[in-house]
Structures are given as C-alpha cells and as structure tokens.
Amino acid sequence: MHDATRAFRNAILHALGHAPDVIELGRLQRFPTSDRRSDTSGWCKVFDDGRAGVFGCWRTGRSETWTATDTRSMTRQQRAELARQVAAATRERQAEQRRQWAENEQRITKLWGRCMPLVPGDPATLYLKGRGFAGVWPLPCCLRYLPSADYWHEGERIGTFPALAAPLTAADGRIVALHRTFLTRDGHKAAVPTVRKLTPASGPLTGACIRLHEPQRGVLGVAEGIETALGAWLASSVPAVAAYSAGSLAAWQWPPDVRRIVVFADADRAGREAADTLRARALRAGLQIKLLVPSEPGADWCDVWAQRGAVTVEVGGAA
C-alpha cells in the first residue's frame, strides 16, 4: 500500500474504529463501521493523486476531509483544487446514498405491507404476554405481527421466523426502518445471534423513534426499547415512544407540540448517560423534563412493570 493511502487508512481507522483493508485511488468505497460483515455504513474516497481524501459514516452522519499535508502550507490554487475535489466526492457520495435509501424504501414498504394487526394468540402477542403485558389490550396500533421474516447473519440467510414488527419513524413522519423482534411460533425469542434488528434504513435514523403513542396535552415519555416504553406507559399513564437504543435516546427529536418530556431511563451507565444528554438538549430548548430511573441497578421499566405488576409511578414536576 502506498504511504499516502496507508496514512489515509490510518486516519479512517483512528476516527471510525474501522477501515477498508485496501484503499483504491479514485474510487468511492463502502466498508463496515461495526462488527457486522453486512454493514456498509462507512464510505471513503482518496483522490487520484493520493494527497487528500474524504471519509465518513452514513449511519452517524460523520464526514471528514483528510490531507497528506497541512492545508496551511498549501497555495491558494491547491486549496481551491482540494475544495473542488471534496465537493465532487460529496456529490458522488450523496447520489450513492440517495440510490441506496430509495432501494431500502422499496424493501421497507413491501415488508411493512406484509405486517398484520396484532391478534390475541399470535406469536407477537404471546411474546408480549410473556414479557409481562398479559391482559393489556388494545396494544399500540404501530405494533404489528410479521408472519415470516428472513433472518440474515454475516451475509447468509439462516432461517425464517415470525416477528414482532414496528416502524421507526423520522420527525417528519416518514418510516425510515422497521424494527423486528424475531420469535418462535409459540412466542419466545428465536435462537438467533441478535433477536432485535433494524432493516437497512431509507433515511437518516438520527432523531427517529417508534411512535407507540402521540403526545397528550404537550406531554410525552420516551424510553429505549419497545417493552421498556410499554412498561413505562402502563406504570405512569404517560404516553410514550421507544427510541430503540441508548444512542438513539440521546439523539431523539421530540415532536414540535411537546412541552414536557418524561425520560424513562434504563438503570445502567449507558442509559443514564443517554438520558442526561437528552435532558441537556431539552433544557436548552426550553422544555420541562423529568428523568426517572429504576432503583434496581441494571433494570429497565419493563422489569419494573413485570416484577411489581400494576405499579403506579408518580411523574411529578420537572427535574
């Protein structure tokens, strides 16, 4: 590998934690930024002269420019040429991303069309019953039953399973991914490497959530997972949404009519840090916010609901 491309690869690895094994001059490349081989969120392009390039991650929205020499030592003409190359690579990257998002949107639409309303006794409702939601009916209408979903692992289809499905919705109302919990026919978690998975996205995931409920009188709760948000809703009567993960909770974008947020955080370090990040953002925006955390370390609000039954949680005022 050329010294310049080696330095470019090292810069990508330092910034993203992952990089292509081989860097090819002048070509837009995709590579994983996670441990999943099927992940292609990373992108990079080193320019033909090997002296500069761009890279980033579509999943996080990160984008950076790399140069082999300090830009302060460049001539005005060199800086102008660099800006031209970066702009051209950005247009190429954006066109590639739009194409990929359009393909994913077609797949999501087709898959969502196969999802069915929940019916007592189907694998999805049996699963929720086992998680502590027996007798809770009706369940939020965004939760659906997918009779058969292919499960892919490291590029191979290892089986077809029923699933609990829910749309991950952007702030503008567009479905940008489907969340699936892979199950057995009798409503248990399927024996797969990762039970809960998102489909490839059809747009930015930052700020999106699973809209179990709409705000009531300007109040909305938010938790990480679907069952956690359901437990929080039942325990507090606060309408809630599920952000999918701790990172998504920190970046969640509340609807414009929300004036007060109740954060039902998981009682672990990642959950608390995410909740603190969201609280800081909400306070800067002038919203009232209440942070609630289970007293037992490691617990979430699904655990609280399942262990204590019809517990009543007092959400009180802002904190």
pLDDT digit string (tens) for 123-135?
999 999 999 999 8
Q: According to the model, what pLDDT value does residue 192 have?
A: 96
pTM value > 0.85: no
CATH for the stretch 209-319: 3.40.1360.10
What is the rounded average pLDDT of the residues 236-240? 95
Indicate where the chain has its CATH 3.40.1360.10 domain(s).
209-319
User: Is the pLDDT assigned to residue 312 strictly greater than 70?
Assistant: no
CA gap 111, 157 in Å, rounded: 16
CA gap 86, 236 in Å, rounded: 51
Q: Count other Cβ atoms within 10 Å, centred on residue 213.
A: 17
Confidence band (pLDDT; 50, 70, 90) for 97? confident
Show Cβ contacts of residue 15 under 8 Å, excluding neighbours closer than 6 positions.
55, 62, 64
What is the rounded average pLDDT of the residues 266-291? 96
CB 23 within 8 A of CB 29: yes
Strands 29-31 and 42-46: antiparallel
User: Is the pLDDT assigned to residue 46 strictly greater than 70?
Assistant: yes
What are the φ and ψ backbone dihedral angles of 54, each rounded to 5 degrees? -130, 155
